[in-house]
Amino acid sequence: MSRTVKGRLFTRLWPNATALLLFTGFVFPVYWMFSTALKPDSDIISEEPVWFPSSPTFEHFATVVRAENFWSLVRNSVTVTLLAVGLSLLIALFAAFALARMRFRGRRSVVLTFMVAQMAPWEVMVIAIYMTVRDADMLNSLVPLTLFYTVMVLPLTILTLRSYVAAVPKELEESAMVDGCGRTQAFRKVIFPLLAPGLMATSLFGFITAWNEFPMVLILNKDPHAQTLPLWLSRFQTAFGDDWGATMAAASLFALPILLLFLYLQRKAVGGLTAGAVKG
């Protein structure tokens, strides 16, 4: 009797126990990043790890913020990311509308082109990109970065937006046109407002991709004033001589916007993410 009770208890408990264990495993690195950033040096360089920052301090964040070029790096990253996301949304809106609402020759091959472009191996093309940008005399500039990031996020933006446009009932648009709206007006007044969740999901993806991009800025922009945060962060630990508190503070500052955005948009965006296959 007691054995079956135990067995039943076990079948009820093991999923929850496993979930807790998994949760710990997935969260721990993130937790350790934030907690290290908040700990005083004596707690970081200790023979026994200090699991909870009992006397939190912001000194590491101060070190990071005062670091050379920090604010120009932030400005670079924000500029490049926002411009790339905005540009690709604009371009994609036209393309998505055409692909979702119009029938024309070559539609299938256009969709295929974007599906292939979505998987473009940018990481492997950096040498050619370097040569192209160098020949255009635009090394150490934010312009090529912005343009390449735009095209990097463009295919998925188009494909995702296309399914959102297609999901807007055609009747709405038609009735607007019956009421005297032009096609442009119908798009602006009817479809566009309904696309808001789609725009959010796709801009989230674009934001992450551009914010995180590493190989291209690594090869294109050697000048510290033209770098972005990922490149700077990858060298932080070496540059600051194993100052793990400051390194983790830098990583936290870099990751925080994305983590917040993701948590906030997760529920709204998850449909779009599923459709578009986002790699974090």
Partner 1 sequence: MSVQTHEAPPPVRSTPRQPHPEDGPRGKPDPRGGGLPYLLLLPALAATAVLLGWPLVTNGLLSFQNLNMAQLIQHVTEWTGTDNYRDTLGSEDFWRVTLRSVLFTVVNVFLIMLCGTLTGLLLARLGSRMRLLLSVGLVLAWAMPVIAGTTVYQWLFAQRFGVVNWVLDAAGFHSMADYNWTGGQLSTFFVISLLIVWTSVPFVAVNLYAATTTIPRELYEAAALDGASARQSFMTVTLPFLKPFLLVTTFLEVIWIFKAFPHIFAINEGGPDRLTETLPVYAFVEGVGNQHYGMGAAISVLTILILLALMSYHLRLAMRQEEDEL
Positions in 53-72 near partner 1 (CB under 8 A)? none
Number of residues that bind partner 1 (CB under 8 A): 103
Q: Is 126 in the site for partner 1 (CB under 8 A)?
A: yes
Are residues 80 and 143 in contact, defined by beta-carbon separation less than 8 angstroms?
no
Are residues 213 and 231 in contact, defined by beta-carbon separation less than 8 angstroms?
no
Tokens found for residue 61: 């964040």
Q: Which is nearer to partner 1, 209 or 226 (CB)?
A: 209
Using the rule CB under 8 A, give the single segment among 1-9, 58-66, 147-155, 189-197 that binds partner 1.
Answer: 147-155
Q: Residues 238-257 vs partner 1: string with x where CB under 8 A?
A: ------x--xx-xxx-xx--
Least Å distance between CB 215 and partner 1?
5
Q: Is 136 in the site for partner 1 (CB under 8 A)?
A: no
Using the rule CB under 8 A, give the single segment among 57-65, 66-74, 89-97, 191-199 that binds partner 1.
Answer: 89-97
Among residues 151, 172, 181, 200, the one that binds partner 1 under rule CB under 8 A: 151
DSSP 187: I
Using the rule CB under 8 A, give the single segment among 56-64, 67-75, 111-119, 192-200 that binds partner 1.
Answer: 111-119
Among residues 78, 82, 147, 172, the one that binds partner 1 under rule CB under 8 A: 147
Least Å distance between CB 20 and partner 1?
8
213-218 long-range CB contacts below 8 Å, 24 or more apart? Answer: 213/145, 213/149, 213/152, 215/122, 215/123, 215/126, 216/122, 216/126, 216/129, 216/145, 216/148, 217/145, 218/126
Kindly give, in sequence order, each residue whose CB lies less than 8 Å from that of residue 58, ignoring residues fewer than 6 positions away: 38
Least Å distance between CB 66 and partner 1?
19
Closest CA to 194 of 159, 160, 176, 168: 168
Q: Is 179 in the site for partner 1 (CB under 8 A)?
A: no
Angle between helices 70-101 and 196-212 (to 10 degrees): 140
Least Å distance between CB 29 and partner 1?
5
Least Å distance between CB 129 and partner 1?
5
Closest CA to 68 of 201, 261, 235: 235
H or E stretch covering 166: helix 142-167
Among residues 73, 99, 153, 199, the one that binds partner 1 under rule CB under 8 A: 99
Coil vs helix vs strand at 156: helix
